[in-house]
A and B are shown apart, each in its own frame.
Chain A
Amino acid sequence: MKQIFGIIVAALILVVLVGQPFYTVDERDQALILQFGKPVGVETEPGLKFKLPFIQKVKTFPKILLEWDGDPGQIPTKDKTFISIDTFARWRIKDPLTFFRAVRTENAAQEKLDAIIDAATYDYITSHNLIEAVRTSNRSMKVEEMISVGLPEKARQQVEISMGREKMTRGILEQIAPKMVQLGIEIEDFRIKRINYVAEVQKKVYERMIAERRQISEKFRSEGQGQSKRIEGERQKELRKIKSEAYRTAEETKGTADAEAIKIYANAFNRDPEFYSFINTLAIYKESLDESTNIIMSTKSEFFKYLKNYKKQ
């Protein structure tokens, strides 16, 4: 009896230890049940699970969102600028059964994603201008007005963005989505992380930026000169205005006074012009005739009339 009990216990222990009828599925995982290597079921709920011992095996896959980092390398854009681009995506194993059949391991999935997404990215980048991948909207930017150097890329001004980064990534996502279904994968999110010029282009861009800044510097300098000249002109003008206005006012004041004086004189002297010239002439005689004056006078003059004749005429 005791021996039989012992045998049963031993058998149970053997089943549990070797056959493993119990297995756990983590919150982050999902499991595929394989019977002799053939998938027969999927367990997506976490917790303690039961399977047939010995015959069935369990293969777990992550259910959690997984990362993918793309590297399509150097790509020429439609406007023939070479850029290096860095992308990433978040994906998950949507259908473990399909995934197991088509891909088997996560590493293999990464490789497949590389191939599919990088190719789609390449297509999109090469068929669009660089600016479409850089900008998202038609938001109008504040730029230095005078920038005109190196304008062959029209992108530099306020261009119409027909696609934009957001639409581009969505387009890439739509393009790859059907291929993902075949792999049992779902792409949650695809984004362009970095876009940079390749080294040679970078150098040229730097040169352009330097030239641009030089131009802006020169603009500032000439603006300074212009403003300074303008202020100088303003000063001259103001100076002339002040002086001439003062002159004008002064002359006008004097003129008015002169006119007034003439009026006053005329009013007075008009009462007896003859008397005026009489006394004024006498005054002039007094002032202008002195010892340097030689005078020849006639005895017929009024003054000397008494010299020859005292009689009243």
Chain B
Amino acid sequence: MNCDEARQLLHAYVDDELDLATTLQIEKHLPGCPKCRKELEAAQVVRTAVAQPAVYYPAPSELRDRLTKAIRAETREISPSSRSITPWWRRPIAFSGLAASLLLVIGSMVLFAPTHAPSGQIDELVGSHVRSLGADHLMDVASTDQHTVKPWFTGKIDFSPPVVDLSGEGFPLIGGRLDYLEQKKVAALIYHRNKHIINLFIWPGETSPQKDVKQGFNLIRFECKGMVCWAVSDLNAVELQQFVELFKGQKPASTRN
């Protein structure tokens, strides 16, 4: 090993990062080379200089306190105790995320008819569905009773949406909400299927059947009792279609208002 080679490896030698064979070569070279010995000594002095405690920047105690508080505050937001007192349908984000990603896969396997609704409307529907899953925004009226939900809309909107109970079919009604789509007030009914939330947006009008998939959510449009209805959910397309058929086939609740 010549001097130039040795100098390239000297620092790795100081750091004990060389393999045994190379280490031995360096150690063979050093006694006969004052230049490399000097370099080695200089490297060790620099190491000691940099490693001295007075040069180090330990974390200030106020940073330590601040971080401890920040970690605990952040954790409280997602703490298990606050989860367990929240009914599952009030906190669907966690599993809907998983379900949504599963549905991206399922959705890509299902061939949908070409879309007709303007993409802006699809975006609004999905946006509204997602917002509804946020904390305390799912329902304005929480009831499994169609005779409570339907009259609730009276006076809030100028139409009476069909409300049906499908709990016998595995799609229980859980409530209703007033929502806005394209600057219009619309009715939103909330159903659930296992752990999936279905938002059914309803407003007066005529329409043709349509399906779409957006951001992993399935959307199905249909007409029912002179109303435009959009079902939006992370539920798979087959079961969502089943929901739509059941909804269309059922007699709406008799109007009590």
Do these two chains interact?
A: no
Binding site for B on A (CB under 8 A): none
Binding site for A on B (CB under 8 A): none
